[in-house]
Amino acid sequence: MQEFESYSRQVEELKENVKAMLIKSKEDPVQNIEFTNLLCRLGVSYHFDNEIENNLTEIFDDLPNLLEKHDYDLYTLSLLFRVLRQHGFKMPSGECIIH
């Protein structure tokens, strides 16, 4: 039983570390999208639903400004597009996102 409690404490500590990484990744939207994608692909994003939703909402709200300021490559744009769409954001398709 003690071993189980020890593992539970370790899991909680790791979850707090990941939450801190999510907060830190807010400084760079591309890093944030890549980190969110990684958590989803690992199958652990459900632990951080609120943090991910808040981060993606901020990115989505600032999307026109981000796209205007930066010249992102195709990989970054497609990752941004896919991650936002997977989380329920209505992303425009076609040229309007690239220009």
**Domain limits at 15?**
2-98
85's CB contacts (< 8 A; 6+ apart) are 91
CATH code for the domain of 86: 1.50.10.130
What percent of the chain lies above the pLDDT cut of 70?
Answer: 94
pTM score of the predicted model: 0.82
> Which tokens is 70 given?
């930066």
Rounded mean pLDDT for each run of 10 residues along the chain, 99 residues in total: 88 94 90 96 94 94 89 92 93 61
> How many domains does the chain divide into?
1
Between CA 74 and CA 8 the distance in angstroms is: 41
